[in-house]
């Protein structure tokens, strides 16, 4: 049994680099990074504000 091998497999799943796009939060004005390309005309929120807006 190889526990090290199991750990490696789990790790490689997170190893893929994610493309992040810089954006400005439409709520607090803070610079943030989002995992999707910000669409013009659509507000982009930072993680904190996004959660806040999702609740309402």
Where do contacts with Zn ion occur on this chain (CB under 5 A)? 25, 27-28, 46, 49
Q: Which is nearer to Zn ion, 28 or 37 (CB)?
A: 28
Phi-psi region of 29 (alpha: psi -120 to 50; beta: other; left: phi over 0): left
Residue in this structure with the two tokens 């943030």, named with its chain if needed = 32
Closest separation in Å from C-beta 56 to Zn ion: 14
Q: Which is nearer to Zn ion, 11 or 54 (CB)?
A: 54
Q: Please give the Cα distance from 14 to 29 (Å, whole number).
A: 30
Closest separation in Å from C-beta 21 to Zn ion: 15
């Amino acid at each position: 049994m190889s526990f090290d091998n199991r750990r490696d497999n789990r790790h490689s799943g997170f190893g893929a680099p994610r493309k992040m796009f810089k954006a400005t939060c439409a709520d607090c004005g803070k610079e943030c990074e989002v995992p999707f390309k910000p669409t013009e005309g659509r507000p982009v929120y930072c993680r904190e504000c996004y959660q806040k807006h999702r609740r309402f």
